[in-house]
Structure 1
């Protein structure tokens, strides 16, 4: 399929229609969307960044319950889960950049933030969206304001803060696959200056398969159970000062994510040579034939607190101090062969502690505006695989830990040249230091320390084409600090029988910084009274980008960083069209061409095309409204790992998912009832594939069809 001419034609048609449809009339159909993508409140149309925003109400209509669902409706965003078979992991890939592994030495390319706090680790932090006010997805490098680990983009999760009026929200969801969710959110002012809020949520869903050789397993394959809570208190002793304290926690107990192993496809592999075949696996790939009870269940826990101090120094000058402390942990692992015999098994546990503090100063002074800040982040964590079994050998251990300190200073200044044109520029200087330590087989030990520094920058311009239409152009850079190998079994070395000496390579070393430079132009706004849209075109250059390549070696499962240079270019479109007073059509389109300098490598988990179409019809009724919505989401075929060798069985098929929702909202008594269907055609698809040379590991989706009812009541 020749997608480039098709997408280019769509882009030209869209751009042409927009250019001829400009209007200065006030728009009354679409509400203004305010975001904090640049560390201050702005209209989404004023931000010189490709950005998607989801309100709590929008997420409910689209059946969005976690970050994986959001990944279905944002152009050039693909969210997948595979980390050690953990059901709580959400790995975001934006414009071909993401997280390929979960081990502590691996940094993501997309930063996830909750109320301004960066989450260093995703495994162990299962964020439900029950008390979320808004989710923002920023596409492209965000190195100036967000710093390290945002070369692909950033995801901001903004929770609901205590309000000035008392409110209570109750919600429940019951459906097929044993779905049962329940949540409560309450907020109340206790005085003129003090307000509190709290939320509790429980989520559960049955699995997709059984552990066929372990009838005593507590959980089924893919089963979900998670309990979470959050409390917040806001104190405003004066009109200028506000202090917000928030604490949260979650505790999940789940069944191992669905996966299977291809054995017969690699007749020279160790699993096949040991006499095992595909017929030794479970007949249904969503069942699992493991014989290791300790790898049927995965757990995730996280807890943390933050303190945010906002102070208005003057009418035009504002400061913020943000402190956070978080802890996350998990247990998981994979019996990679997925057969009853204990030939390949990697039970695992991990945890991480992080602390951060950030001081911000922002202001508006006539034609000038600015945001500056100081930032400090530290993280300590480890991953431990106890009694691993490799190729049927004796049980052994693998231990990996890392400590990190990162400091930064940043600033972004904007100037309004006239009523229509604003130009801005930003700089961020960052210093990082990492110390990594690994122990293999309790005998081989290595420690390494390295530091890095990087200056990120940005130049941007916004131009008001009309009252309701804005164009922008930006050049922005970003970086991810260097990384140590995730599984350095290369340290085992090889024994020379002739000399009787052991040769050990010095392979436990970190690579240089990964850098990105992005050129982007876009147009966004409401060119027609009934059309809201955004269009962006980008060209991004990545240097020293680490592709994680995993193979089996003589001693274990080895993961190395293959450094490549990658150039990505593409187009992104989002729109909402009010066809009639009651009929709305939402659509997104993303196209990306990721060109890698290594001919044997390809951008992993990066579909060339991402599309969604969502018609929505609303009928007014005496006491409220009745709405009908359908969401179709498409991701084209992609590679499940960096290798694009067709003989390595790493290609993932395209997928189309359809959700439906029928909701009645009673505006008089403030309640709603919904009938919903998710993935109504029961599309089954692969999340990732990994060819080790001895076997192919296939991570399957946990996203089967589901039908049910949602009820909510506001007081």
Structure 2
């Protein structure tokens, strides 16, 4: 295990002097807080913490009681921290990194927790970190650009959640909890106007229709200009990185008695914009096909063809209009029913149906030549039903049990407007997934200080998948099923000072996955005779093809931690973990004879590290700090040792805030937020010649808000990424070129106004 001295040296070597100086103020201020307490200085009401109640274990608990590593965000405070979407959440949670790749779509969200995530987005792949909204699992993150409005709370659960969540939560889970309708009458208006053409407005209304019926509704519009131009497509509708999104959500709650309630929710979003910023590095690879001109067009390509002299690196040189724009839309409806059967038992049913679709795609050569371009479309329909029963077996024992059903049908298409090596390119993927599970988790209080809990979950998954990448071969079909029993054992102990210590052993599971782009089928076709013996080649490929699924993906996590209130000024949570993954598929992409091939590299991985969250509150001053340090070890594969992609070994966030009380009761709140992510790799190899290392990044936000004494409104000046840090979001070396996905996260300054009446 890494000792404190080693971690301190790592911090000192990786952080800028300013960031390190700010980080080192935390223990000093903590000591000051302790000194203040020993002098019998009583805390004011403003100084005292309000312990957040979370539902991470599907039962309401104070955050200190949950025996897992957990970060929680208050929905009303997201804007002040500069959090506008899930990508921003990834800047402030230890050992969490949220990136975007996904065919260049600006709405894509790919979370990585403790070295587990997903680089791809096609229907045959599943994320390693699950995202839930009000208990409903979101199977696809492209096409569902979730707007963080009307949010009660966000919970980030780190480590495998194989008992209570299960569905693709082998790395962790992100819970988004929205505000339920209630009997209060309130209207909230929030607006933002800023540089880069930022225009954002959202309206929230909550109203009681009767003593038993209430509703709330949220409508949001969000627009931001791009960072570059499509220099060879003068008629492009959008600039590079431009976004425009409209979303809405309506909830109706019926509560005819104190024992029964139903909430019906419908939501929708539509987004359009320009392709995510990216560029292509050709000279650095020097391939025979690109650099040497050995391609279907016979054109020798250089970096200067991607970024011609006099253009900005955020400009795009494609000549194909089909890959200049992206779009996404989603529709969903959910019904949540709760019935308090008696004082001891509550039944809950969460049923949902969702659809999502998107249009995106990259011009991989990045030039005006129509060589490798892959416009694509995708869609997915999902249905889920979960039945829960929770309650008390006696005064010392409570439980949560449930049944879960999930079905998803989806497809991806690249059609006539796609090309590889200047010729046609075909990709037709279809998959239907059915998942069924039963689970139970029981917690028992041995005494006032000690409690133990344990859980079991049995899951059975079935997948029917098909791929067509070559018309002469036709469609290849395959089916598979997986099942696994996952479990959890945990104990909590409350110390005399009120702090809580916990120890947890938990397992996780994810079903196997099919290759995302199985162009290896074409090589098998010709290797088995090809056009000389079409029938024989087809039979041979179908009998022994590369479109096969991987085995069960499993994880076992060992974790100990301490969390709680050190004193009335300092709140702390620290966790040490060791997680072992088996049969974990990495997505590895390369240019093959038949096309842009993506295969699964199955590895065994061990992630170990430490995480720290603290909150300091001294009167009008407060500071949030989170630090994560992690070492990921991957077993050697065929003579080389892979690395976990898009996984920094060091994460840090610091957020000091001070409130100035003015005469007459007015106030000004000043907040700054610093986020750091260390170097990482864009693909599963760290070989220097691959050139896929991403530099570290440091992002700084500020927010200065004025609120009058009557709290009628708040007006704020904000800055996000104020030093305009431009960083790589991902990198991928295909063997012919390096795809360098650039961040869409340039500096922004503006004014925010909110009012409530």
CA deviation string 1:409-457 (max 9, x = no partner) = 0000010000000100000000000000111133322000001100110
- Matched residues in 1 for 2:653 and 2:83: separation? 14
Counterparts of 1:80-91 in structure 2, within 5 Å, are: 80-91=99-110
Counterparts of 1:98-109 in structure 2, within 5 Å, are: 98-109=117-128
User: Partner of 2:140 in structure 1?
Assistant: 121
Residue 390 of structure 1 and its aligned partner are, at CA, apart by 4.7
CA deviation string 1:25-71 (max 9, x = no partner) = 99851112011101111100000010001112221210110001111
- Matched residues in 2 for 1:359 and 1:680: separation? 47
Residue 118 of structure 1 and its aligned partner are, at CA, apart by 0.2
User: Partner of 2:182 in structure 1?
Assistant: 163
- Matched residues in 1 for 2:145 and 2:186: separation? 26
Q: 1:627 to 1:424 in 2, by over 3 A?
A: same
User: Partner of 1:137 in structure 2?
Assistant: 156
- Matched residues in 1 for 2:260 and 2:666: separation? 40
Q: Is the 8 A contact 1:477 1:515 kept in 2?
A: yes
Q: Does 1:590 align with 2:633?
A: no
Residue 520 of structure 1 and its aligned partner are, at CA, apart by 0.3
User: Partner of 2:643 in structure 1?
Assistant: 602
Residue 4 of structure 1 and its aligned partner are, at CA, apart by 7.4
Residue 5 of structure 1 and its aligned partner are, at CA, apart by 3.7
- Matched residues in 1 for 2:69 and 2:706: separation? 33
Residue 623 of structure 1 and its aligned partner are, at CA, apart by 3.3
- Matched residues in 2 for 1:496 and 1:77: separation? 44
Q: Does 1:294 align with 2:322?
A: yes
Q: Is the 8 A contact 1:610 1:634 kept in 2?
A: yes
Q: Which structure 2 segments of 5+ residues have no match? A: 12-25, 294-299
Counterparts of 1:50-65 in structure 2, within 5 Å, are: 50-65=69-84
Q: Is the 8 A contact 1:162 1:195 kept in 2?
A: yes
Q: Which of 310, 315, 327 is the aligned partner of 2:338?
A: 310
Q: Is the 8 A contact 2:271 2:329 kept in 1?
A: yes
Q: Which of 488, 512, 517 is the aligned partner of 1:458?
A: 488
Q: Is the 8 A contact 1:347 1:387 kept in 2?
A: no
Q: Does 1:547 align with 2:575?
A: no
Q: Which of 338, 344, 347 is the aligned partner of 2:366?
A: 338
Q: 1:667 to 1:64 in 2, by over 3 A?
A: farther
Q: Does 1:247 align with 2:266?
A: yes
User: Partner of 1:482 in structure 2?
Assistant: 512
User: Partner of 1:227 in structure 2?
Assistant: 246
Q: 1:109 to 1:496 in 2, by over 3 A?
A: closer
- Matched residues in 2 for 1:211 and 1:623: separation? 52
Q: Does 1:7 align with 2:36?
A: no
The CA RMSD over aligned residues, in Å, is: 2.2
Q: Write 1 or 2 for the structure with the bigger share of strand.
A: 1
- Matched residues in 1 for 2:590 and 2:186: separation? 55
Counterparts of 1:203-602 in structure 2, within 5 Å, are: 203-274=222-293, 275-282=300-307, 283-364=311-392, 365-387=394-416, 389-444=418-473, 445-466=475-496, 468-494=498-524, 495=526, 502=537, 504=541, 505-578=544-617, 580-598=618-636, 599-602=640-643
User: Partner of 2:670 in structure 1?
Assistant: 628
Q: 1:533 to 1:659 in 2, by over 3 A?
A: same
User: Partner of 1:670 in structure 2?
Assistant: 712
Q: Does 1:618 align with 2:646?
A: no
- Matched residues in 2 for 1:56 and 1:405: separation? 33
- Matched residues in 1 for 2:101 and 2:4: separation? 30
Q: Which moved more, 1:440-449 or 1:689-698?
A: 440-449
Q: 1:248 to 1:278 in 2, by over 3 A?
A: same
- Matched residues in 1 for 2:613 and 2:712: separation? 31
Residue 391 of structure 1 and its aligned partner are, at CA, apart by 4.6
- Matched residues in 1 for 2:612 and 2:162: separation? 23
Q: Is the 8 A contact 1:270 1:391 kept in 2?
A: no
- Matched residues in 2 for 1:544 and 1:166: separation? 52
Tell me the TM-score normalized by structure 2: 0.91
- Matched residues in 2 for 1:328 and 1:73: separation? 28
Residue 10 of structure 1 and its aligned partner are, at CA, apart by 10
Q: 1:3 to 1:611 in 2, by over 3 A?
A: farther
Residue 626 of structure 1 and its aligned partner are, at CA, apart by 1.0
CA deviation string 1:328-367 (max 9, x = no partner) = 0000000011100011100100000000000000112300
- Matched residues in 1 for 2:439 and 2:477: separation? 32
Q: Is the 8 A contact 1:251 1:300 kept in 2?
A: yes
Q: Is the 8 A contact 1:663 1:673 kept in 2?
A: yes
- Matched residues in 2 for 1:393 and 1:338: separation? 13
User: Partner of 1:650 in structure 2?
Assistant: 692
Q: Which of 680, 697, 700 is the aligned partner of 2:739?
A: 697
Q: 1:498 to 1:205 in 2, by over 3 A?
A: closer
Q: 1:667 to 1:200 in 2, by over 3 A?
A: farther
Q: Which structure 1 segments of 5+ residues have no match? A: none
Residue 496 of structure 1 and its aligned partner are, at CA, apart by 5.5
- Matched residues in 2 for 1:541 and 1:702: separation? 34
Q: Does 1:71 align with 2:101?
A: no
Residue 392 of structure 1 and its aligned partner are, at CA, apart by 2.8
Work out the number of aligned pairs and report it: 710
